[in-house]
């Protein structure tokens, strides 16, 4: 499993929810996961029913124990404490990330804070969007590479809630963006270091979609763009999948004009005196379901043709809350994430 998990998807597909569920799913048996937000929407805090995230890494959840076997010492093979792992979260602020960068390479200290007060930091990240993306991706990649005093990775996994599919390739391909800003020097070197992580086996880019025509087409286009840019495509996550209500034999009957008398008879036998009035609306609903089922199956077949692992997450009819997030995490674990 790649250590940097990037999650993208068309707006409205629930990519932030899937990213959060993935972070929980990965944080099992003592693993530690960092969930990174780069769009400034505070969607992660809302999902975990927490206060707005500051520009610092903060523990936001504890994952349940997956129940795997543990050693007698109670520790896993990496030396971490076995049991439910921890999920940390970070909302990256481009301005503050640039201040970190300036301090790291130029030791500006108080001068950097003065630049922020003058609006220079905001100006720099606005006129040079390529620089902004370097800062955002760079912070996530730094967390991937960071080690503690014992030489172990601080985080086993970093999950990034990334920009939508239409912008993901440009966002991740920061090396091309920075080429117009700097041919050499610290910014250029930083971009090169970021790209070494993003184009390596340490990274996997997952795309979230629904079983609808527009999200599926955008997902397939995104896969093609990522592959053309030689960025590592991971899995396709199909979100909000409706349960199958009718089997194939029942679906076949919905288009059979001769089935009406049999349905009327069955309803009457069940004690429904208004069977003749009910049968029409019931068959109409069944026909609508059959049509939607056929459309969803066609979209699923298109996704399967991309040749990527396909995971499906159920539609939670009661809405998304913290309990639902843990439910989706368990679904991902059962599917081998």
Per-residue pLDDT of the chain (337 residues; tens, 9 = 90+): 899 999 999 999 999 999 999 999 999 878 999 999 998 888 999 999 998 988 899 999 998 775 443 333 334 444 444 456 999 999 988 777 766 766 555 454 554 455 455 454 454 555 455 677 877 888 899 999 999 999 999 999 999 999 999 999 999 987 666 655 556 666 677 778 888 899 999 999 999 999 999 999 999 999 999 999 999 999 999 999 988 776 665 656 665 556 666 666 676 777 666 666 776 777 677 777 777 888 889 999 999 999 999 999 999 988 889 999 999 999 999 998 8
Residues 130 and 273 in one domain: no
The reply to whether 309 falls in a domain is no
Q: Is 261 found in the same domain as 177?
A: no
| Predicted pLDDT of residue 190 | 74
Residues 237 and 147 placed together within one structural domain of the fold: yes
Tokens standing for residue 305: 């043709």
Q: Is residue 104 part of a domain?
A: yes
Integer Cα distance of 280 and 137 in angstroms: 56
Q: Do 250 and 120 fall within a single domain? A: no
**pLDDT the model gives residue 94:** 73
Residue-range definition of the domain harbouring residue 270: 246-296
* Per-position b or e across 12-31, b if 16+ CB within 10 A of its CB: ebbbbbbbbbbbbbbbbbbb
Q: Tell me: do 141 and 266 sit in the same domain.
A: no
308 within a domain of the structure (yes/no): no
Residues 23 and 136 in one domain: yes
Q: Say if pTM beats, i.e. exceeds, 0.75.
A: yes
Residues 84 and 164 in one domain: yes
What kind and span of H or E run contains 168? helix 165-172
Q: Give counts: helices (H), strands (E), the chain.
A: 14, 8
The answer to whether 268 and 279 are in contact (CB under 8 A) is: no
Pair (205, 235) in one structural domain: yes
Distance of CA 187 to the CA centre of its chain: 28
324 with 253, same domain?
no
Q: Are strands 157-161 and 4-9 parallel, antiparallel or unpaired?
A: parallel
**Full DSSP string of 221-248:** HHHHHHHHTT--EEEEEEEEEPPP-S-H
Tell me what pLDDT residue 109 has.
Answer: 54
Cα of first residue to Cα of last residue in the chain, in angstroms, is: 8
- Domain match, 225 and 251 both: no
Is 215 inside any structural domain? yes
Q: How far apart are CA 202 and CA 153, in angstroms?
A: 13
Q: Across-strand partners of 75?
A: 81
**Residue 303 in domain:** no
Please indicate, yes or no, whether residues 217 and 238 belong to a single structural domain of this protein: yes
Number of compact structural domains in the chain:
2
Residue 87 and residue 25: Cα distance in Å, rounded? 10
60 within a domain of the structure (yes/no): yes
Would residue 50 count as lying in a domain? yes
- Strand pairing partners for 90? 36
Residue 306 lies in a domain: no
**Do 204 and 256 have their domain in common?**
no
């Amino acid at each position: 499993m790649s250590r940097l998990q990037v999650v993208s998807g068309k707006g409205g597909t629930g990519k932030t929810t899937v990213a959060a569920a993935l972070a929980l799913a990965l944080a099992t048996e003592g693993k530690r996961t960092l969930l990174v937000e780069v769009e400034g929407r505070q969607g992660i805090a809302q999902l975990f029913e927490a206060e707005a995230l500051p520009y610092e890494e903060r523990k936001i959840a504890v994952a349940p124990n997956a129940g795997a076997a543990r050693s007698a010492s109670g520790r896993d093979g990496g030396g971490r404490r076995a049991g439910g792992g921890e999920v940390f979260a970070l909302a990256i602020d481009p301005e503050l990330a640039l201040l970190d960068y300036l301090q790291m390479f130029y030791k500006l200290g108080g001068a950097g804070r003065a630049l922020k007060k003058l609006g220079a930091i905001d100006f720099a990240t606005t006129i040079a969007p390529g620089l902004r993306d370097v800062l955002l991706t760079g912070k996530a990649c730094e967390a991937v590479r960071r080690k503690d005093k014992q030489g172990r990775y601080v985080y086993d996994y970093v999950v990034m809630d990334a920009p939508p599919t239409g912008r993901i390739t440009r966002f991740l391909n920061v090396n091309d963006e920075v080429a117009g800003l700097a041919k050499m020097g610290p910014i250029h070197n930083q971009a090169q270091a970021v790209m070494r992580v993003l184009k390596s086996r340490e990274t996997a880019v997952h795309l979230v979609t629904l079983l609808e025509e527009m999200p599926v087409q955008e997902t397939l286009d995104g896969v093609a763009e990522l592959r053309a840019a030689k960025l590592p495509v991971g899995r396709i996550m199909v979100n909000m999948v409706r349960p199958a209500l009718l089997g194939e034999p029942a679906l076949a009957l919905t288009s059979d004009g001769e089935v009406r008398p049999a349905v009327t008879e069955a309803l009457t036998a069940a004690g429904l005196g208004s069977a003749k009035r009910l049968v029409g609306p019931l068959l109409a609903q069944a026909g609508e379901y059959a049509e939607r089922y056929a459309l969803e199956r066609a979209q699923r077949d298109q996704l399967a043709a991309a040749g990527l692992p396909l995971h499906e997450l159920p539609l939670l009819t009661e809405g998304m809350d913290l309990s639902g997030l843990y439910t989706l995490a368990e679904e991902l674990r059962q599917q081998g994430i």
